Amino acid sequence: MDKLAIIGGRPLFGEIAISGAKNSALKVMAASLLTDETLTIFNVPRLADVDMLLKLLAQHGVDVTFEGPTLTLQARTIASTEAPYDLVRKMRATFNVLGPLLAREGKAKVSLPGGCAIGARPVDLHLKALAAMGAKIDLDEGYVVAAAPQGLSGARIDFPIVSVGATEHAILAAVLAKGETVISNAAREPEIVDLANCLMAMGARIEGAGTSTIAVSGVPRLHGAHHTVLPDRIETGAYAMAAGVAGGELYLRHARLDLLGAAVGVLEEAGLKLTADPTGVRVRRTLDRCRAVNLVTQPFPGFPTDLQAQFMALMTTADGTSVIKETIFENRFMHAPELGRMGANISVDGQTATVRGVRRLKGAPVMATDLRASMGLVLAGLGAEGQTLVNRVYHLDRGFERLEDKLVQCGALIERVRG
């Protein structure tokens, strides 16, 4: 298993190109199942998660061409409506093929998903949404078996909690349903707007994406389209924090501050200066040492759970005490003990972590536990004294494109150790 060796303590200067958003690309890719015409997707990041979904799509009969960051997908016919355990267990986003398969073919059998080990992560809301649209749903030996022989019908779907995946799934199924679907308490993440934009370019009729009420008027068929994936806001936030941890000044090309929501204010309060221009965002630390800031993770536009681990890493050496509350997932502080191995002073009580800033962390061997937590450990390593060895880098490869290249270009001492 590959490791990353990082020698910390060097300020970062230079430019990092922000890739297309993983969490958007994956859902847009699933939309290819809804039409027999070609969907061309630009700005797709080269990531293990993308490859995994491509494998699954190919298995469903999708023709795939991937050149540079441009992905061309065409599902002329659906070869199989079954998504096997082996291709779904590693990544939650693969589960979102269920809705499109059901909408187009009237049936689907999809394994219950896997993903990062950050909590229970059920899919009950996904299934309730599909059932509301008329699907008959059974669970059989770890598989969801869904049928809608007469097609799906528009429905009112009122989510009891905000779910990004379930909102996306409901939209993906509703676009080909008969009649209107109204989703209330919908998630408002930028990736949902991106997915809706792609579907609208394919001929779907969607109103309100980006607000908490989304209306979808079903159409009989969708056609091919071109779509450009928006820049990754989590990658943007993570590299902004890299400048906070290590010092220096970075230009994050393609980054958009409007996608970061509450994270902008939090990072500024912590002592980062973020300046947007039409092609990107410049970031630098204005203080000698970052300031401690309290944080609560929330659905967009609140501070994203996907940046919580990186923010905790930033706070380990901040001036003061930061209280971090994780409200989205119940088991998302696994990076805390790893940061502790590097000398961080963190106590965890349920969903709340208290981080007492220390002057400096010391490099140590640490274990990546999930995708975003791993990035937190990389950030901590960039600021620490001596060498940090991040084990289980495969987590990072799922979601951060060319991570070490991007950082090396800016002066970081970071190297992949193959193993």
What Cα–Cα distance (Å) separates residue 279 from each residue in 17, 252, 254, 256? 10, 9, 5, 8
Cβ atoms of residues 143 and 109 within 8 Å? yes
User: Does 96 sit near ligand UD1 (CB under 6 A)?
Assistant: no
Binding residues for ligand UD1, total number by CB under 6 A: 24
Q: Please, what is the minimum distance in Å from the beta carbon of residue 265 to ligand UD1?
A: 17
Angular region, 273: left φ>0, alpha ψ -120 to 50, beta rest: beta
Mask for 319-338, x = binds ligand UD1 (CB under 6 A)? ---------xx---------
User: Does 125 sit near ligand UD1 (CB under 6 A)?
Assistant: yes
Q: Please list every residue from 126 through 155 that binds ligand UD1, using CB under 6 A.
A: 126
Q: Please, what is the minimum distance in Å from the beta carbon of residue 63 to ligand UD1?
A: 28
Binding part of the chain for ligand UD1, among 102-110, 118-126, 236-244, 267-275 by CB under 6 A, reads 118-126
Residue with token string 């209107």? 180
Which of residues 32, 81, 111, 163 is near ligand UD1 by CB under 6 A? 163
Marked catalytic residue, from 116, 198, 290, 410: 116
Which of residues 89, 90, 121, 362 is near ligand UD1 by CB under 6 A? 121
- Residue number of the CB closest to ligand UD1 reads 165
Of the pair 102, 361, the CB lying nearest ligand UD1 is at: 102
User: Does 24 sit near ligand UD1 (CB under 6 A)?
Assistant: no
Mask for 285-314, x = binds ligand UD1 (CB under 6 A)? --------------x----xxx--------
Q: Please, what is the minimum distance in Å from the beta carbon of residue 14 to ligand UD1?
A: 27
User: Does 166 sit near ligand UD1 (CB under 6 A)?
Assistant: yes
Binding part of the chain for ligand UD1, among 119-127, 313-321, 361-369, 376-384 by CB under 6 A, reads 119-127
Of the pair 104, 126, the CB lying nearest ligand UD1 is at: 126
Q: Please, what is the minimum distance in Å from the beta carbon of residue 315 to ligand UD1?
A: 19
Q: Is 410 a catalytic residue?
A: no
Cβ atoms of residues 94 and 51 within 8 Å? no
Which of residues 63, 124, 158, 405 is near ligand UD1 by CB under 6 A? 124
Of the pair 39, 192, the CB lying nearest ligand UD1 is at: 192
Q: Please, what is the minimum distance in Å from the beta carbon of residue 8 to ligand UD1?
A: 26
Of the pair 43, 163, the CB lying nearest ligand UD1 is at: 163
Binding part of the chain for ligand UD1, among 101-109, 123-131, 249-257, 387-395 by CB under 6 A, reads 123-131
Where do contacts with ligand UD1 occur on this chain (CB under 6 A)? 23, 92, 119-126, 161-166, 187, 189, 299, 304-306, 328-329
User: Which residues form the catalytic set?
Assistant: 116
